[in-house]
């Protein structure tokens, strides 16, 4: 089903037209992009606003590409994207530069559009979708602007908040739509100031639909909005504008609309994203016509996959477009079969985009997703654009915001809760670069709300209960949740456990290396929430442990973090005295017991990388002061994310709260990373104490609840 493209020249362009359409890629691009790229006319890096040591082609940009196995406009199976370098002395790279770099390299890209949902749960679902689609490596995403929904407000469903969350919590370079219809200068200035304060640096400047109430606007056309942004903020914002391959429906003519578009570009627009269309020839003609009148900025085709009959009719009505008759003849008989229409839409969009890529006219493609992912991901994979094997820049999710661009180091405690860390450090003016430094009371923000849409679990309450149990009858029931999570096994009800309160995702690859050992510990009540195996100089491209640029080597110390009962904690203290190579920190919920052999203000590097021509990078540390902050969050998750699933006063809730109140949080670092770690030996000895003394941990409800009664009376003695 669908339309076959058998033409040897899929673009349908003769060589002269193709040359005009593609003319931006070399000479003219070199001339017009010096301001955006920070390059001199001879192609060298400009050092404006940068220290001299930043001027290195290999390390200056957060998204510089290293050697890759595939370049050019290839279309086919997904390939491994070339990794970006985010090492010492990073420099923020604006979106306009990223687009031009991809044009120059000949490597096509994709970007995505989403609209704000109407509900709080919808916001959480959208963020989860952004996280999934981020794995494919989009160059950027954009968030639409709906004046009727208070888009510049602080609600979780406002355009501004969703764009901010996409940038900071999903790690996507994000562009915010902004419309001027009905807006005053004061309105626009307020929105721009807020966007800047949030770290948003990309604006799609649009007029938008005129409001029905007829309120006058200080910006009659998008050109006026572009001029105002440039006049007020200079080059701070990257500005995109809309182009209409069939002409704007309100324009006097197609030619007049092109003149309006050139005015927007001349006013300061960096690139153009087109309205949707259905045939590649429409885009080819539009680009050729733009080049003929002197428009030289990149033009990105906007594509909306046909996903259902009703959505097609609705979008066409809003955009006032005509659907080609050959598409109508295929879709009309299928209007009651959404799956068949979606399959056709995937085929039609894929073939159209292939033709645009093979012509060399389209540098990338922008998808109007309608907040759906299945069809878009299918097309991206068919085109070979999906990043199947992403090479991590750092061992944690990098935030592309210019405010955090130089961030290179974090405490390991938040490795499975990166969004919580970003939230708690969002007010920082500077971020650790190169070294964590002295940890004199790091000023972390408080975590008062565990249910913010970018922090809450992606699963519903019912889904969590299915995984963790509708009822908890003993400590062993809790231990079994951890065990089944680590083993990837279904629980006693046949439901696979894919998350725990401290990690809302399935196990990362490096944890699977030691998951069997961890599972044995958890089965017997040593409840691990964070870990990493020791590594001694593996290649930086290693699929499990690798990160950073090619040609480097990765080192890691063995690390374990877990909850343990008061009885076992006493034995653990004694066992640790036998191992001088281990740094440890043991603390209880209220912090009255705080036992460590680490220097208070001296962080311990637990991960580092050595790369050619660069300083050693140490992206994760164990910092004693930060651990005091983390412990409140770690203990709080027992109650906020687990105990509160059950009715107040219930046996299940009492058991979870008892663990939170009586257990101790421990972290262990084995500094002897070149050798086999002794951490397993330490914990085996701890468990053998139970076997020798027949003191199996409280397995019945009554006995388990009595454990917390002993804690306060032991604190003073244990601190000696």
- How far is the C-alpha of 401 from the C-alpha of 93, rounded, in Å? 10
E strand or H helix at 619: strand 617-622
- The two tokens of residue 417 are 């809760």
- How far is the C-alpha of 317 from the C-alpha of 328, rounded, in Å? 14
Q: 351: buried, middle or exposed (CB in 10 Å: 19+, 13-18, 0-12)?
A: middle
What are the helix (H) ranges across 488-609?
509-512, 515-523, 566-576
* Backbone phi, psi, residue 635, to 5°: -70, -35
- How far is the C-alpha of 273 from the C-alpha of 290, rounded, in Å? 13
Question: Does the annotation mark 648 as catalytic?
Answer: no
Going from the C-alpha of 437 to that of each of 430, 554, 601, the distances in angstroms are 13, 21, 9
- The two tokens of residue 168 are 């900071």
- The two tokens of residue 529 are 């929430």
Residue 238 and residue 273 in contact, taking contact as beta carbons nearer than 8 Å: no
Strands 299-300 and 271-274: parallel
CA contacts within 13 A on the Cβ side of 489: 13
* Dihedral sign of CA atoms 453, 240, 141, 286 in order: positive
**How far is CA 465 from its chain centroid?**
27
Which of 308, 312, 332 lies closest to 322, judged by CA? 312
Going from the C-alpha of 297 to that of each of 106, 365, 373, 697, the distances in angstroms are 16, 15, 29, 68
**How far is CA 660 from its chain centroid?**
31
Residues near 39 by beta carbon (within 8 Å), at least 6 away in sequence: 33, 45, 46
Residues in the chain: 720
For helices 309-319 and 338-359, the axis angle rounded to 10 degrees is 50
The single residue of 97, 113, 625, 697 carrying the catalytic annotation is: 113
Which of 301, 382, 363, 374 lies closest to 2, judged by CA? 382
- How far is the C-alpha of 113 from the C-alpha of 367, rounded, in Å? 6
Instruction: Report, as residue numbers or ranges, the catalytic residues.
Output: 113
């Amino acid at each position: 089903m669908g339309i076959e493209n058998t033409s040897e020249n899929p673009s349908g362009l003769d060589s002269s037209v193709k040359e005009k359409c593609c003319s931006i890629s070399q000479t003219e691009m070199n001339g017009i992009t010096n301001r955006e790229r920070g390059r001199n006319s001879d192609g060298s890096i400009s050092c404006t606003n940068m220290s001299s040591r930043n001027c290195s082609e290999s390390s200056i940009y957060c998204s510089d590409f290293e050697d890759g196995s595939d370049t050019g406009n290839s279309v086919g199976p997904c390939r491994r994207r070339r990794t970006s370098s985010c090492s010492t002395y990073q420099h923020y790279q604006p979106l306009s530069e990223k687009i031009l770099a991809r044009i120059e390299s000949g490597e096509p890209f994709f970007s995505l559009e989403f609209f704000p949902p109407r509900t709080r749960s919808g916001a959480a679902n959208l963020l989860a979708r952004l996280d999934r689609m981020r794995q494919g490596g989009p160059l950027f995403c954009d968030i639409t602007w709906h004046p009727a929904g208070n888009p510049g407000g602080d609600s979780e469903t406002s355009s501004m908040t969703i764009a901010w969350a996409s940038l900071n919590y999903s790690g996507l370079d994000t562009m915010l739509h902004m419309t001027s219809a009905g807006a005053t200068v004061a309105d626009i200035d307020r929105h721009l100031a807020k966007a800047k304060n949030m770290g948003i640096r990309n604006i799609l400047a649009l007029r938008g639909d005129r409001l029905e109430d007829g309120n006058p606007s200080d910006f009659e056309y998008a050109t006026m909005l572009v001029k105002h942004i440039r006049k007020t903020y200079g080059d701070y914002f990257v500005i995109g504008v809309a182009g209409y391959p069939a002409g704007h429906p309100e324009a006097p003519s197609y030619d007049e609309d092109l003149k309006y578009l050139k005015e927007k570009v001349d006013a300061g627009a960096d690139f153009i994203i087109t309205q949707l269309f259905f045939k590649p020839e429409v885009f080819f003609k539009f680009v050729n016509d733009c080049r003929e009148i002197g428009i030289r900025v990149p033009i990105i085709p906007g594509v909306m996959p046909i996903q259902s009959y009703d959505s097609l009719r609705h979008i066409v009505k809003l955009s006032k477009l005509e659907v080609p008759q050959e598409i109508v003849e295929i879709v009309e008989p299928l209007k009651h079969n959404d799956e068949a229409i979606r399959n056709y839409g995937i085929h039609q969009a894929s073939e159209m985009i292939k033709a645009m890529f093979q012509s060399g006219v389209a540098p990338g493609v922008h998808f109007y997703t309608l907040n759906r992912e299945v069809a878009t991901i299918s097309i991206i994979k068919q085109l070979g654009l999906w990043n199947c094997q992403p090479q991590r820049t750092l061992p944690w999710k990098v935030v592309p915001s210019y405010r955090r661009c130089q961030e290179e180091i974090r405490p390991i405690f938040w490795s499975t809760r990166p969004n919580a860390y970003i939230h708690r450090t969002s007010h920082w003016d500077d971020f650790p670069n190169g070294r964590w430094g002295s940890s004199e009371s790091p000023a972390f923000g408080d975590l008062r709300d565990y249910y913010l849409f970018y922090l809450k679990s992606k699963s519903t309450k019912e889904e969590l209960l299915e995984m963790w149990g509708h009822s908890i009858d003993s400590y062993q029931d809790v231990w079994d949740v951890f065990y089944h999570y680590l083993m990837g096994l279904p629980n006693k009800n046949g439901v696979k456990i894919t998350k725990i309160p401290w990690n809302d995702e399935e196990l990362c690859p490096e944890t699977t290396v030691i998951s069997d050992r961890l599972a044995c510990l958890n089965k017997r009540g040593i409840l691990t929430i964070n870990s990493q195996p020791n590594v001694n100089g593996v290649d930086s491209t290693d699929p499990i442990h690798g990160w950073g640029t090619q040609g480097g080597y990765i080192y890691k110390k063995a690390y374990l973090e877990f909850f343990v009962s008061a009885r076992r904690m006493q034995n653990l203290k004694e066992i640790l005295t036998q191992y001088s190579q281990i740094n440890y920190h043991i603390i209880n919920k209220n912090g009255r017991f705080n036992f460590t052999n680490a220097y208070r203000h001296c962080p311990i590097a637990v991960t580092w990388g050595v790369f050619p021509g660069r300083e050693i990078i140490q992206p994760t540390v164990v910092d004693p002061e930060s651990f005091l902050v983390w412990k409140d969050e770690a203990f709080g998750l027992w109650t906020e994310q687990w105990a509160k699933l059950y009715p107040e006063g219930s046996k299940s809730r009492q058991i979870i709260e008892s663990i939170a109140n009586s257990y101790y949080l421990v972290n262990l670092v084995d500094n002897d990373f070149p050798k086999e770690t002794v951490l397993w030996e330490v914990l085996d000895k701890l468990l053998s104490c139970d076997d020798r003394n027949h003191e199996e941990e409280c397995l019945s409800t009554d006995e388990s609840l009595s454990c917390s009664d002993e804690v306060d009376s032991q604190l003073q003695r244990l601190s000696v």
